[in-house]
Chain A
């Protein structure tokens, strides 16, 4: 029987995508790793929309496509603007395997199992309550009145940063920094996926919705097709949801499901799961002042690594890849002689060179766009009236340019507003 070590090489807080990626990498390199998970099992506390981009995961797990729980490859992207009973959609069909749908509970469980098979110890049902410190140096974790020591701790605790808050490294979350995601997974008849969604075997759809989805509140909706179910939900900026929502949030999802143009996709569906989660939104303000300290690295949602572009969300791949880089950084710091802040600084460098920071910097202003209410109200309405003018006619056809301006005017926007909003969108997206 193996002995319980007095001290681990690394302790990972949280067995989500970030934590398990770290644990997997370090375990394969021979580090003695302990992962502590608050939920009953890895993945039980994770929530996402429904789609994951595959490239980063393939880099972390070489056999990813062969054995990961992939439900459907996204072969069809749809973006819809909703206004009343009208729906304006843009469809893109490709067939390259860039992203897939799954249940995050399954994916996270798979990743944890990979880490465990590589030699990491994963302990569920244990909540880490704080960091064990010696001066400024982190030397382990605390769980209630128990503690475990390690050379380095990776904080991958997720968006609810109770450990980092208790240590004073970050402030408590403010509603303006996060969005609220609510989601239902519903079982649907296989014929619905084939006939209504038009999907073949293994093909999937990612569908983003803007406009009347959130009753004019900044946010949007999403629909993803899984193997034999559909995920549907919405994301709202938390502060505006608090001040502006006049119903329980689950009712917004129900309303979406029963929308006259969407209800056919959810005919005879049965709710399998309801979940809600906070989502990092204002990333630059959420990011801890540093990501590497003496004996401590921060990754995943806890570091604020999430990209919301309105038409797509990326969190799982960012989290996993940041965890993977944390593992690499620890390996390098080990080579340099220890887990000092100076040696661990390589983590920041690796992040800066990666798609994570490049993307986050490139889209650093996107959350400001979310504050432009016209994007959620007037523009979807304008799109709808534009299409109505073009297509819904009895005798006379309209000239396109006049129709655009006319539709804008109908929705209270003159040419100047169109121009400045256009520039803003170009700038941030």
Chain B
């Protein structure tokens, strides 16, 4: 086998460290919030790069998002990913996971050849972890979640899947899809050489519905059966601070217990 053609799927998400919730509408205030590559997809990127180092081949980053996600592709190119595909069209906006995976499947079918789709375990901003399974189903390929290791064996992929209490080992036919266990592969730093290549060669292809020619009843908001029934704003719990000073451990413990009783946490 002559190297692996890997598709790295990612999402460009608001940096949730800086996101606030509008208490009136229950929606995220995204104004002025910088976006980042979903951190769990960075583990996937590192995983893909390690596979490419081992087996050769090529990594294509792919995303369905508004055009500003090009910055996300550039970041991944800086890590060493070979090229990128941005799927963007107004008709794809407001998509839930089903409509998103439908478009991504169409995007992947435009590629000449792929062996393996790799993505992060879940996203920072919604955490559904739907896309991997849905996409594999559209493409009718096997998928394995929570992968920590992968190697080739006679043209098949052998993977370790990490569960809470055990590790499972699978052998799957290629092409396949895997999601990489979060925090399992800390991403490498970006390099000047890779960045330069990204900025000067701009190896990013854009696909719109002109190319994919999908029925727009099945994409974007219209193609999304998910209905958000209600969002509830959970107000912040006011935190109190009192510092215990100059008390023996026994006194401090007694003081703490009486405090917790006062607050109704203990009977």
Interface residues of A (CB under 8 A from B): 1-4, 34, 36, 40-41, 121-126, 143-144, 146, 148, 272
- A121's partner among B34, B78, B193, B199 (CB-CB below 8 A) is B199
Instruction: Chain B residues near A144: list those with CB within 8 A.
Output: 192
5 closest A-B pairs (Cβ-Cβ)?
A: A146-B192, A123-B195, A143-B192, A1-B201, A121-B199
B202: interface (CB < 8 Å): yes
| A contact residues around B264 at 8 Å (CB) | none
- Chain A CB within 8 A of B130 CB: no
- The answer to whether B32 touches A4, judged by C-beta atoms less than 8 angstroms apart, is no
Are A4 and B192 in contact, CB atoms less than 8 angstroms apart? no
The answer for the CA separation of A41 and B72 in the assembled complex, in Å, is 12
Give the total number of A-B pairs whose CB atoms are below 8 A apart.
39
A34 to B197 alpha-carbon distance, docked (Å):
12
Chain B residues 192-236 with CB under 8 Å of chain A are 192-193, 195-197, 199-203
Give complex CA distance A391, B39 in Å.
63
A121 & B203 in contact (Cβ 8 Å cutoff): no
Question: CB-CB < 8 A to A36: which residues of B?
Answer: 192
Tell me the bound Cα distance from A1 to B195 in angstroms: 15
Instruction: Tell me, rounded to whole Å, the shortest Cβ–Cβ distance linking A13 to chain B.
Output: 12
A125 touches B195 (CB 8 A): yes
B83 CB → nearest A CB, Å: 10
Q: Are A1 and B203 in contact (CB under 8 A)?
A: yes
CA distance A148 to B201 in the complex (A): 17
Which residue of the partner chain B has the closest CB to A120? B199
Contacts of A125 in B (CB 8 A): 75, 78, 190, 195
Which of B71, B195, B197, B202 is A126 in contact with, Cβ under 8 Å? B195
Taking the closest CB of chain B, its distance from the CB of A40, in whole angstroms, is 7
* Complex contact A121–B190 (CB within 8 A): no
A40-B34, A125-B75, A125-B195 known; A4+B190 contact, CB < 8 A: no
Expressed in whole angstroms, the Cα–Cα distance for A148 and B192 within the complex equals: 9
> In the complex the two chains form, is B196's CB within 8 Å of A2's CB?
no
Q: Are B201 and A123 in contact (CB under 8 A)?
A: no
Q: What is the predominant secondary structure among interface residues of chain B facing chain A?
A: helix
Instruction: Across the interface, name the chain A residue whose C-beta is closest to B32.
Output: A272
CB-nearest residue of chain A to B75: A125
Contacts of A4 in B (CB 8 A): 196-197, 200-201
Distance of B38 from chain A, by nearest CB (Å): 16
CB atoms of B196 and A121 under 8 A apart? yes
Q: Mark B72-93, 1 if CB is under 8 A from A, else 0.
A: 0001001000000000000000
Partner of A2, one of B192, B195, B201: B201
**Chain A contacts for B34, CB-based, 8 A:** 40
Beyond the given pairs A1-B203, A123-B196, A148-B196, 10 more chain A to chain B contacts, judged by CB atoms under 8 angstroms and listed by A's residue number, are A2-B201, A2-B202, A4-B197, A40-B34, A41-B71, A122-B199, A126-B190, A143-B192, A144-B192, A146-B193
Q: How far is the CA of A95 from the CA of B47 in the complex (A)?
A: 59
Footprint of A on B, CB under 8 Å?
32, 34, 71, 75, 78, 190-193, 195-197, 199-203
Q: How far is the CB of B206 from chain A (nearest CB, A)?
A: 15
Bound: A125/B75 CA distance, A: 9
CB distance from A64 to the nearest CB of B (A): 23
Structural contact, A126 and B201, CB atoms closer than 8 A: no
* A2 with B200: CB separation less than 8 A: yes
In the complex, 15 of the A-B residue pairs with CB atoms within 8 angstroms, ordered by the A residue number, are A1-B201, A1-B202, A3-B200, A4-B196, A4-B200, A36-B192, A41-B71, A121-B199, A123-B192, A124-B195, A125-B78, A125-B195, A126-B190, A143-B192, A148-B192
A residues in contact with B197, CB < 8 Å: 4
CB of A37, distance to nearest CB on chain B (Å):
10
Q: How far apart are the CA atoms of A124 and B193 in the complex, in Å?
A: 12
User: Across the interface, which residues of A come within 8 angstroms of B191, CB to CB?
Assistant: 146
* Residues of B close to A41: CB separation below 8 A: 71
**A272 vs B203: C-alpha distance when bound (angstroms):** 36
User: Whose C-beta in chain A lies nearest to the C-beta of B191?
Assistant: A146
- Chain A residue, CB-CB nearest to B34: A40
Cα separation A165 to B247 with both chains bound (whole Å): 51
Nearest CB in chain B to that of A121: its residue: B199
Write the chain B residue with the least CB distance to A3.
B200
Q: Using Cβ atoms and an 8 Å threshold, which residues of chain A touch B196?
A: 4, 34, 121, 123, 148
Distance to closest chain B CB from A304 (angstroms): 28
Tell me the minimal C-beta distance from A379 to chain B in angstroms: 40
A199 to chain B, nearest CB (A): 22
CA distance A181 to B118 in the complex (A): 46
User: Within the assembled complex, what's the spacing in Å between the Cα atoms of A41 and B203?
Assistant: 20
A175 to chain B, nearest CB (A): 31
Most chain-A CB neighbours within 10 Å: which of B34, B191, B203?
A: B191
* Set of chain B residues within 8 Å of A148, measured between Cβ atoms: 192, 196
How distant is the Cα of A73 from the Cα of B71 in the complex, in angstroms? 32
Taking CB atoms, residues of chain B closer than 8 Å to A146 are 191-193
Give every chain B residue within 8 A of A40 (Cβ-Cβ): 34
